[in-house]
Structure 1
Amino acid sequence: MKKLTFDIYIISRLTHIYYTRELRKIGLSFGEFPFLISVYENEGISQEELSSLLIISKSTTAMMIRKLAEAGYVRKEVDPDDKRNFRLYITDEGLKFIPAIRRIIDSCHEKMTEGMSEKEKNDICQKIRKIRQKSESSGMKTGKKGKKTVKNLSE
Structure 2
Amino acid sequence: MNVKHNARFFGILNRQLQTYINLAFKKIGLNYWECIFLVNLYDNEGMNQEKLASILLIDKSIATKNINSLVNKGFIIRKINEQDKRAKNLYLTDKGKDYKEQIYSLIEKWIDYISDGIDKDTQDFVINKLHIMAEKARNADFNTLIMTNIDDEDDN
When normalised by structure 1's length, the TM-score is 0.84
Aligned to 2:61: 59
- Structure 2 residue 16 is the aligned partner of structure 1 residue 10: no
Gaps of 5+ in 2: 146-156
For residues 73 and 144 of structure 1, do their structure 2 counterparts lie closer, same or farther at Cα, with a shift above 3 Å needed?
A: farther
SS in 2 for 1:126: helix
What is the CA-CA distance between 1:137 and the residue it aligns to?
2.2
Gaps of 5+ in 1: 146-155
Q: Which structure has greater strand proportion?
A: 1
Calculate percent identity across the aligned residue pairs: 27
* Selected match of 2:111 from 102, 109, 112: 109
SS in 1 for 2:87: strand
User: Looking at CA atoms only, which structure, 1 or 2, has the larger radius of gyration?
Assistant: 2
* Paired residues of 2:49 and 2:63 also in contact (CA < 8 A): yes
What is the CA-CA distance between 1:110 and the residue it aligns to?
0.3
- Structure 2 residue 113 is the aligned partner of structure 1 residue 119: no
For residues 85 and 144 of structure 1, do their structure 2 counterparts lie closer, same or farther at Cα, with a shift above 3 Å needed?
A: farther
Aligned to 1:153: none
Q: Which structure has greater helix proportion?
A: 2
SS in 1 for 2:126: helix
SS in 1 for 2:32: coil
* Selected match of 1:94 from 86, 93, 96: 96
Report the AA paired with residue 107 of structure 2: I
* Paired residues of 2:45 and 2:92 also in contact (CA < 8 A): yes
Q: What is the alpha-carbon distance in structure 1 between the residues aligned to residue 94 and residue 72 of structure 2? A: 14
SS in 2 for 1:84: coil
* Paired residues of 2:80 and 2:87 also in contact (CA < 8 A): yes
Report the AA paired with residue 8 of structure 1: F
What is the CA-CA distance between 1:144 and the residue it aligns to?
7.2
Aligned to 1:48: 50
What is the CA-CA distance between 1:93 and the residue it aligns to?
1.1
- What is the Cα-based RMSD across aligned positions, in Å? 1.7
What is the CA-CA distance between 1:139 and the residue it aligns to?
2.1
What is the CA-CA distance between 1:114 and the residue it aligns to?
0.3
* Paired residues of 1:40 and 1:89 also in contact (CA < 8 A): no
Structure 1 runs of 4+ aligned residues shifted over 3 Å read none
Q: Deviations over 1:103-138 (max 9, x none)?
A: 110110001110111101100001111211222222
Report the AA paired with residue 34 of structure 2: E
When normalised by structure 2's length, the TM-score is 0.84
* Paired residues of 2:78 and 2:91 also in contact (CA < 8 A): yes
Report the AA paired with residue 134 of structure 1: K
* Paired residues of 2:75 and 2:96 also in contact (CA < 8 A): yes
Aligned to 1:150: none
